[in-house]
Amino acid sequence: MEILQLKYFCALADSQHVTRTAEQLRIAQPSLTQTIRRLENELGVKLFMTSGRNIVLTEYGKYLRNKLEPVMKALNEIPEELKELSGEREKLLRINVLAASNLLTDAIIAYQRQHEDVRFQILQHNEAENSDITVFTCEAFRQPQSVRDRYYIFSEEIFLAVPKNSTYAKYESISLREMADKKFIALAGSKGLRSICDKFCMNAGFKPNVIFESDSTSAVKNLIGANIGVGFWPHYTWEKPDEGSMALIPISDPRCRRDIIIRLHGDSAEHKEAVWYFDFLTDFFDKLKG
- 246 with 223: CB under 8 angstroms? no
Q: Quick one: pLDDT at residue 1?
A: 75
Q: Quick one: pLDDT at residue 130?
A: 83
What does the pLDDT look like over 208-222, one tens digit per residue? 999 999 888 888 989
- Span 86-104, average pLDDT: 84
Give yes or no: residues 83 and 214 share one domain.
no
- Span 231-241, average pLDDT: 90
Give the CATH number, domain containing residue 172. 3.40.190.290
In a domain, 287, yes or no: no
What does the pLDDT look like over 137-170, one tens digit per residue? 999 999 988 788 999 999 999 999 999 999 999 9
Give yes or no: residues 136 and 262 share one domain.
yes
Q: Which of 36, 63, 88 is the last residue before a domain boundary?
A: 88
Show the CA angle centred on residue 136, arms to residues 130 and 137, nearest 5°. Answer: 160
In a domain, 121, yes or no: yes
Torsion angles phi and psi, residue 185, rounded to 5: -105, 130
Q: Is the pLDDT of residue 50 over 80?
A: yes
In a domain, 290, yes or no: no
What does the pLDDT look like over 166-190, one tens digit per residue? 999 999 999 999 999 999 999 886 6
- Span 49-78, average pLDDT: 86
Give yes or no: residues 75 and 100 share one domain.
no
In a domain, 248, yes or no: yes
Q: Quick one: pLDDT at residue 87?
A: 60
Q: Is the pLDDT of residue 83 over 90?
A: no
Give yes or no: residues 200 and 99 share one domain.
yes
Give yes or no: residues 153 and 191 share one domain.
yes
Give yes or no: residues 245 and 150 share one domain.
yes
Q: Is the pLDDT of residue 263 over 70?
A: yes
In a domain, 34, yes or no: yes
Give yes or no: residues 63 and 100 share one domain.
no
Q: Which of 57, 88, 119 is the last residue before a domain boundary?
A: 88
Per-residue burial over 28-65, b if 16 or more Cβ lie within 10 Å, else e, is: eeeebeebbeebbeeeeeebbeeeeeebebeeebeebb
Q: Quick one: pLDDT at residue 181?
A: 96
In a domain, 196, yes or no: yes
Give yes or no: residues 105 and 74 share one domain.
no
Q: Which of 67, 88, 109 is the last residue before a domain boundary?
A: 88
Q: Quick one: pLDDT at residue 147?
A: 80
How many independent structural domains does the chain possess? 2
Distance of CA 120 to the CA centre of its chain: 8
What would the DSSP string read from start to end of 56-124? EE-HHHHHHHHHHHHHHHHHHHHHHHHHHHHHHHHTEEEEEESS-HHHHHHHHHHHHHH-TT-EEEEE-
Q: Quick one: pLDDT at residue 110?
A: 95
In a domain, 48, yes or no: yes
Give yes or no: residues 107 and 183 share one domain.
yes
Domain of 166, in residue numbers: 95-282
Give yes or no: residues 260 and 230 share one domain.
yes
Give the CATH number, domain containing residue 65. 1.10.10.10
Q: Is the pLDDT of residue 283 over 90?
A: yes
In a domain, 233, yes or no: yes
Q: Quick one: pLDDT at residue 95?
A: 94
Give yes or no: residues 112 and 65 share one domain.
no
Q: Is the pTM of this model over 0.75?
A: no
Q: Is the pLDDT of residue 114 over 80?
A: yes
Q: Quick one: pLDDT at residue 206?
A: 97
Give yes or no: residues 130 and 9 share one domain.
no
Q: Quick one: pLDDT at residue 73?
A: 84
